Structure 1
Amino acid sequence: MNVPIVDPLQGDFPETIEEFLQHGNMKCIAFNRRGTLLAAGCANGSCVIWDFETRGLAREFRDKDCTAPITSVSWSKYGHRLLASATDKSLTLWNVVTGEKIARITLQQTPLHARLHPGSSIPSVCLACPLSSAPILVDLNTGSTIVLPVSASDSGNVPLPNSRKFSDGSPPFTPTAATFDKNGELIYVGNSKGEILIVDSKGIQVLGLIPIPGGTVVKDIVFSRDGQYLLTNSNDRVIRVYENILPINGSGKEIEKIITNNNNDYGSKYEKLKANGARCLVLSCEVSDAIAKVQWKAPCFSGDAEWIVGASASKGEHRLHIWDRAGRLIKILEGPKEALIDLAWHPFDPTIASVSVAGLTYIWAKEHVENWSAFAPDFIELEENEEYVEREDEFDINAYAERVEELMIDQDAEIDVETCEKNSSFSDFDDSADEIIYLPAIPSPDAPDEQPDKCLVSSSKLEDSNHSGSPPSSMDAVQNGLAIPPASSPLEEPSAEAANAKRKRRLSAKGLEMQQAEKVKKPPIKMSSNGKLSKPKSKPVVEPVNGNSSAKIKQQVVEPVNGNSSAADIDDEATEEDEM
């Protein structure tokens, strides 16, 4: 049975790639709470923050102790802190405003994901999900860690002993994902047995349990931004959406009341935890690709939790599937032939940022179509040009109508310019005046150009040589980076100094013969038998006179070179200079 497709024009979701961001090789991304800043972790261990409004780079954090690729980045509630986990088993906490490193913790396992506590404006506790190990709570100030329970046993709420192991040596029920709820009172842990454990973040006790149909490994577990819905991604290639029945504020106290009021006689503690979990989460829908049966990667909710997006985990595919909350497929977005490794949906806008294996961040946005009727209600779009007939009174001034409009304006009304309207997407509990929304851009100066400095030095040297009265030689000009000035035109009379600078040494008879052999086609200046310079004799030019067959012979006159009386005088002067 074919899955019904909803009309794409009815949804507010991205449709096409608008642009891409490039800075090194990015591996993971995360929006801040307002969606104005986008943090990204790079393969060289650095973290960058993009101003998402201008698409400009606002900050870059580098730690000399960390050069390993970043696995995840996480914002604090009001954007003052940024947490980065790396493959060298480290957790680094940054001050977003100053760019200073606040703390650095090294764990025993590589953290795949790390999240700061969402209930504090300046948190010092984070939740880390190491590789092949139970999730832990880490105190970034002291470095102490608390291991969370991975399964509920009949004897107590402690992790099961590692007496039984799989063939690869990994312990059973190894969790793969964990997350805080909206305010950080509860922690939802997914394990490899296909269970969701509800753990108290303070007492570290299992308060409820929700079995997942199929009982496969939970790879991802994500809460919606408003905390009303929970999403899980399992190895059975199905994304499941749960509705959170607990209140957003005071969820810890509410589940304690559920446990207290549950006085039914259950056969085991496991059954009681299942009953408690059934009053916390209710399965809403399941989504999957029934035809291709692909694995999903980095699923998440939209900002208003109306849409669900999941990326195909197939190699070489940058494909996004979008469903509505009822589980109906809405849109399939095809990207470049690059595998996708991470994505994030903007908190407010229909915009998705996805990271490819090539290290680029692609920005998916809604394709806007110009609608001029939205600006002018009387505007009508025409398919063809039409002749417009002007009405007689169309541009006449109607004084009465203008006077009525002026009377409708209450000029005595008080205008409030101090009260700020609160964003409807945030409650009073979440709003804060100290929240970091934008970061001032730090301009980076361009690399100084060395060429102008060289020209400046050369020009100063040239000025000094001009003032001294001696022209620079060709060798000095080459060393100083100056261009050798071209020779003066034969029509210009050079000075005595210039004439001396242009003189050349006389060639021997053998050298003259070699020069003439090289320049057979160009008979420039010829030498006489005694080695003196001589001008080539002009050839007679025959021109017809008045169309008659008889010709008039014109003789070209050889003028003295450079105003001298004869070429012999020039040669004699050169000979005297050579002797000196």
Structure 2
Amino acid sequence: MNVPIIDPLQGDFPEVIEEYLQHGNMKCIAFNRRGTLLAAGCADGSCVIWDFETRGVAKELRDKDCIAPITSVCWSKYGRHILASATDKSLTLWNVVNGEKMARVTLQQTTLHARLHPGSSTPSFCLACPLSSAPILVDLNTGSSTVLPVSVSDAGNGTTAPHPRNKFSDGSPPFTPTAATFNKYGDLIYVGNSRGEILIVDSKNIWVHAIIPISGGSVVKDIVFSRNGQYLLTNSNDRVLRVYENLLPQKFAAKELEAISSNDNEFQGIEKLKVVGSKCLLLFREFQDAVTKIQWKAPCFSGDGEWVIGASASKGEHKLYIWDRAGYLVKILEGPKEALIDLAWHPVRPLVVSVSVAGLVYIWAKDHTENWSAFAPDFKELEENEEYIEREDEFDLMPESEKAKDLDINQDEEIDIVTIEKDSAFSDSDASQEELCFLPAIPLPDVPEQQDKCLGSSSKLEDSNHSGSPFSIEAAQNGQAILPASSPLEVVGNSTAEEAVETSSLKRKRKPSAKGMELQAEKGRKPSTKIKLSGKSSKSKNKHGDGLDTNGSVLEDDVTDDYL
């Protein structure tokens, strides 16, 4: 769907379930950057790639070493790679084009969410959020990992380091089931902790530059950036969704943040980090259900960042809440009685895709009202009666408005059909020549058992055709249709009268009666002579089909035709 033709008065958000996708037991989903392909991780360890335009399976990525359920899938910037995390503590990088496994790394704990570095076309780093430890920055080429800080100490010279309290016996950070994400270009990492804080970490030197405290101090469960990188969405354990405005520039945000931190020498330690954080993020809006106070799951922005959507985390509910960025609840979508486990908004179109606990993927779209009336191009449909004031020259044969029009068209101007205009929905569409938008359709081969059956049946058919009468060959040479040899019409329909006489022995013979045997025993009988045994000689057949006249006599013509 083209973005400019969407009616802005109807609201570009979904309303009803359009259809659903089914392929195994799907657990998580993710769109590529253009929204043409949809990746889904399944419970059997495979990744299914759907062609979202045709709603067909374009490719299936399967690893024999991984049969554990997939917890998250993530596309690379240009859509040529997919990163999948599984419950067997593995991270697998796939090449989407040829379906080959590029890298596989096994961590110490199960990864809930994994994100590829968005700044490079050939990703080598990823951000993993394990179940019971701090987020980890993983090098997919070497397999080395770096634990990110989740808190800072206010001792000594104010340097930042992971907090030493409540460590596990193996020296890992404390239990922090929180989230982390890259910014738009991957030079900064935003980490949430169990204290209700957002830490801004430099992805190169793993240095905390700022802290943003969240009101309520609850555990941060989700952190999501909008596509344009201007807004940040957080989901906390206090049942509130918060939207922050990003005050840092999109490009070279790490250098700008370092400059802000070096220029501010008035405060030290944590106070300095909080002051710098106030110059990075600004609380824009809060979203919550004041009546039910439900927990939220899988919140995200719309493709243009104008809408915020969150799913109910209650068991057995498949409800989607949609707010506009101003904070008003505009729609509540109710789906089937199946719990929701994942959610994704289409990058360009007003479509939402949700995954239920049953493994089905539901596609939510707008409820379009079709109007097939044949109106004039300039016809305007009115909702109610309006008083119309006509122009002075509206019904003139040559209106003055048309006379005043001058043709400013330069017919000699060359039309440029080569240059591609930038899509307003993508800020860096000029740098995406190598982007993968579609996958070629590969036909699936038949099952070998079915091929053997087909070959066997065809060979039998050929044998039956070749084992037929010799007249089928002549009929084929004469351009006549060849019927199967088992058909009694082959002899009659594909042969001449002489051939029919020669092949009369192929006809089914009737069992002769006693009177017929007596007649055959007689000698000197002519074939064309009718023998009248008794009664009248009117020729007819009784209900049994025997050649008898009305008085029970046998007719010789019938005898000669049937028994000779």
- TM-score tier by shorter-chain length is 0.7 to 0.9
* Contact 1:173 1:191 (8 Å CA) reproduced: no
* Contact 2:134 2:174 (8 Å CA) reproduced: no
* Contact 1:192 1:216 (8 Å CA) reproduced: yes
* Contact 2:464 2:485 (8 Å CA) reproduced: no
Alignment partners' CA distance in 1, 2:252 and 2:429: 13
Higher mean displacement: 427-436 or 203-212: 427-436
SS in 2 for 1:221: strand
* Contact 1:80 1:95 (8 Å CA) reproduced: yes
Q: Specify the alignment match of 1:233 in structure 2.
A: 235
The residue identity in structure 2 corresponding to 1:46 is: S
* Contact 1:24 1:42 (8 Å CA) reproduced: yes
Shift of 1:435: 1.4
SS in 1 for 2:190: strand
Please give the per-residue CA displacement for 1:348-385, whole angstroms capped at 9, x wherever unaligned: 111111111121111111122246699712355799xx
Q: Specify the alignment match of 1:435 in structure 2.
A: 435
Alignment partners' CA distance in 2, 1:299 and 1:332: 14
Please give the per-residue CA displacement for 1:367-425, whole angstroms capped at 9, x wherever unaligned: 22246699712355799xxxxxxxxxx9x9x9x99999995542111211221111123
Q: Specify the alignment match of 1:273 in structure 2.
A: 273
Q: Specify the alignment match of 1:336 in structure 2.
A: 336
Return the match for 2:160 from 157, 162, 182.
157
The residue identity in structure 2 corresponding to 1:274 is: K
Q: Specify the alignment match of 2:379 in structure 1.
A: 378
| CA 407–236 in structure 1, closer or farther in 2 if over 3 Å, else same | closer
SS in 1 for 2:468: helix
Q: Specify the alignment match of 2:186 in structure 1.
A: 184
Shift of 1:499: 5.6
Where do residues 72-471 of structure 1 align in structure 2 (5 Å cutoff)?
72-155=72-155, 156-163=159-166, 172=174, 174-266=176-268, 269-370=269-370, 376-378=377-379, 380=381, 409-428=409-428, 431-447=431-447, 448=450, 452-467=454-469
The residue identity in structure 2 corresponding to 1:426 is: F
Shift of 1:213: 1.3
Alignment partners' CA distance in 1, 2:410 and 2:336: 57
SS in 2 for 1:291: coil
TM-score normalised by length of structure 2: 0.77
Gaps of 5+ in 1: 1-7, 384-393, 470-481, 505-536, 540-553, 571-580
Where do residues 440-519 of structure 1 align in structure 2 (5 Å cutoff)?
440-447=440-447, 448=450, 452-467=454-469, 495-496=504-505
Alignment partners' CA distance in 2, 1:72 and 1:126: 13
Alignment partners' CA distance in 2, 1:347 and 1:35: 6
Say if 2:558 is the partner of 1:557. Answer: no
The residue identity in structure 2 corresponding to 1:255 is: L
Alignment partners' CA distance in 1, 2:104 and 2:420: 39
| CA 375–198 in structure 1, closer or farther in 2 if over 3 Å, else same | farther
TM-score normalised by length of structure 1: 0.75
| CA 170–401 in structure 1, closer or farther in 2 if over 3 Å, else same | closer
SS in 2 for 1:377: coil
| CA 230–373 in structure 1, closer or farther in 2 if over 3 Å, else same | farther
| CA 411–272 in structure 1, closer or farther in 2 if over 3 Å, else same | same
* Contact 1:538 1:557 (8 Å CA) reproduced: no
Alignment partners' CA distance in 2, 1:454 and 1:198: 69
Q: Between Structure 1 and Structure 2, how many residues are aligned?
A: 486
Higher mean displacement: 437-446 or 372-381: 372-381
SS in 1 for 2:122: coil
Please give the per-residue CA displacement for 1:321-353, whole angstroms capped at 9, x wherever unaligned: 001112211110111111111111111111111
The residue identity in structure 2 corresponding to 1:50 is: W
RMSD: 3.8
Please give the per-residue CA displacement for 1:486-519, whole angstroms capped at 9, x wherever unaligned: 99xxxx999556668x889xxxxxxxxxxxxxxx
Alignment partners' CA distance in 1, 2:270 and 2:325: 31
* Contact 2:243 2:284 (8 Å CA) reproduced: yes
The residue identity in structure 1 corresponding to 2:238 is: D
The residue identity in structure 1 corresponding to 2:358 is: A
Q: Specify the alignment match of 2:4 in structure 1.
A: none
SS in 1 for 2:60: strand
Alignment partners' CA distance in 1, 2:176 and 2:402: 76
Shift of 1:185: 0.8
* Contact 1:41 1:84 (8 Å CA) reproduced: yes
The residue identity in structure 1 corresponding to 2:57 is: L
Shift of 1:464: 4.5
